[in-house]
Amino acid sequence: MIKVTVWNECRHEKEDADVQEVYPETIGGCIVDNLQPYGFDLTLSTLDDPAQGWPDELIESTEVAIWWGHRYHDELSDALIDKLQARVLAGMGLIVLHSGHHAKLFKRLMGTSCNLSWREAEGGERERVWCLKPSHPIAYNIPPYLELPQSEMYGEPFDIPEPDELIFNSWYQGGEVLRSGCTFQRGRGRIFFFAPGHETFPIYRNEHIIQILANAIAWAHQPHQSGWNLGNWGRPIPLEAGAPKQTYYKKPRKLMLAEKAEKAKK
């Protein structure tokens, strides 16, 4: 059973009546409830939980993380982002939703601003999500396109590195388009960014959206543990006989200084 942590900033739900109305169980709660039938081992955590929702044991045990955050990205400590980044590089899958495009963790992993154009039109606007790779695991059981009657426009230019795969592309009523379902590989970690999911529209109640999230979890989960992490490894002895090798090794600084002091005494 894949261990999934749904991390939800969960402040809109405390601060905004319109969000409470759409998601009385919170956005994270809605995602967890709707993913239950897929048989994942789901944990819900939030920014206001101890350790900002990411105690060390949870970071270590999580195999795939779903990330929904918006207003308070900057509250997350850099030390926590360091740990989460390392965990992704070591193989934790990461699914970043909607406004998570500006999450510290996502920006760190992308290395770009992750800026995009946006519009929060009164009552929302129509979004049509086109599936570009029907045979991709994330597109399992997804129709050629899906219509979201109310959505927030997220449009290009979207400042991300070239995605490894573009699975979904969105068109908005206002005419803008966005690469709305992108995959990336960082170290051993698989990352999926998925744009739909504004807090005031019931997008996470759409069965296709939930199917995409379930597919993305299965895809982002490490397929096996064989192989290695991409470490900074010294190869002092070359494979080819006769090629020059490293013969001298640095000592730890503390030892070096101690030996120097000892020498000076003599």
Least distance (Å) between residue 258 CB and another protein: 7
Contact 167, 132 (CB under 8 A): yes
What mask, x for binding another protein by CB under 8 A, covers residues 66 to 105? -------------------------x--------------
* Binds another protein (CB under 8 A): choice among 121, 174, 237, 260: 237
The residue among 15 and 259 lying less far from another protein, judged by its C-beta, is 259
C-alpha 164/C-alpha 202 separation (Å) is: 29
Within residues 144-203, the interface with another protein by CB under 8 A covers none
Q: Using the rule CB under 8 A, give the single segment among 26-34, 70-78, 81-89, 251-259 that binds another protein.
A: 251-259
* Binds another protein (CB under 8 A): choice among 135, 225, 244, 261: 225
The answer to whether 230 contacts another protein (rule: CB under 8 A) is no
Q: Using the rule CB under 8 A, give the single segment among 20-28, 73-81, 174-182, 245-253 that binds another protein.
A: 245-253
The residue among 117 and 246 lying less far from another protein, judged by its C-beta, is 246
Contact 105, 80 (CB under 8 A): no
The answer to whether 108 contacts another protein (rule: CB under 8 A) is no
Contact 170, 194 (CB under 8 A): no
Q: Using the rule CB under 8 A, give the single segment among 17-25, 74-82, 135-143, 220-228 that binds another protein.
A: 220-228
The backbone torsions φ and ψ at residue 169, rounded to the nearest 5 degrees and listed phi first, read -130, 130
* Binds another protein (CB under 8 A): choice among 37, 234, 242, 244: 234
Q: Using the rule CB under 8 A, give the single segment among 44-52, 108-116, 117-125, 255-263 that binds another protein.
A: 255-263
Residues in contact with another protein by CB under 8 A are: 3, 60-61, 63, 91, 222-229, 231-237, 245-249, 251-256, 258
